[in-house]
A and B are shown apart, each in its own frame.
Chain A
């Protein structure tokens, strides 16, 4: 009998903590006003949780009335996420086979290129992935505002898992005796170098994007130059493999033409065009007010 009141107090404390945590999803002013209203009304904590949840849902639904979260969801989370996933997968495979060959046999994995070329390719791809991920993360944060938790989750899972899903659906990968926990960990944690690079860079970009919304014009020019350089470098370097394979097969195998290699990289770079437009608009409006 003596345990019941203390358990009740404990439940109340947990519910109050829950109200506190949930209300952080609201704007600062609104959070204060709502928590004040709840304190004043003296209604039960369960009702308070329900009230806060109701307001959060209404606010989240309201956010999707604008075009910005939709652009973030479809343009970045889905489109750029799918392309980044392919780039991350390529980096993972190329890096993985080199590391495995080196640590197991102490040799360079034969790719028909020199070790220096392979090293340059991996370095270029890794830096390009960092730059693209940061830019996509920034624009995602900037467009999504408070809907960022949803758009970010779709973006993250798209990059991490779309390759896996593609392989399973195409029948190239068969899950024998799949263990749910292991599958969940593989699907949600960045356990390989490429997805780790992507995650760190994209989280950083998103946090900056949510806070700043627009970058200064000079910073955008630097970022745009970096993206252009890495897009050209990646297209050019991936051609080394195509040429080497063509020569090795005696021209029986036809490599992917450069416009087709360039196209996905241009598509994944679209957020920089948006950033340029936004920064230009802000720069113009600041100049006009002076």
Chain B
């Protein structure tokens, strides 16, 4: 089973498709969660996902915008897609019948 941060990375990489690399995934996660995402957490989780065979990474071409430095490109593998789908289905299943908005109001 995936962790939620692993799921966020897989989701961001799937959305970005060909343009999935370190900085872009980080921006995508920060925009989605409205929380800052550290490079340390991102890169160590990318390693973990790659070790599990859920993504594949490689060094891309250098670009002038990055001071001539290459990107760490990311592609989600078929196993990655399957794991992300299972996680999503589990979250949906466990959320069935739960209304967070109503709960918040009730607690408040």
**Interfacial residues, chain A to chain B (CB-CB below 8 A):** 29-30, 32-41, 50-52, 54-59, 62
Contact = CB atoms under 8 A, between A and B. Distances in A.
Interface stretch (B5-13, B68-76, B86-94, B95-103): B68-76
A52 B70 CA distance: 17
Interface residues on B, range: 20 to 34
Tell me if A's interface is mostly helix, strand, loop or mixed: helix
Contact of A40 (B23, B43, B59): B23
A29 B72 CA distance: 8
Nearest to B66: A36
Interface string B31-46: 0000000111101100
A37 B40 contact: no
16 contacts: A29-B59, A29-B72, A32-B70, A33-B43, A34-B43, A39-B69, A40-B66, A41-B23, A51-B38, A51-B39, A54-B40, A54-B41, A55-B38, A55-B39, A58-B40, A58-B44
B43 A55 contact: yes
Given A33-B59, A37-B23, A54 B71 contact: no
A144 B23 CA distance: 30
A40 B71 CA distance: 10
B67 A34 contact: no
Contact of B40 (A33, A38, A39, A57): A57
A57 B26 CA distance: 19
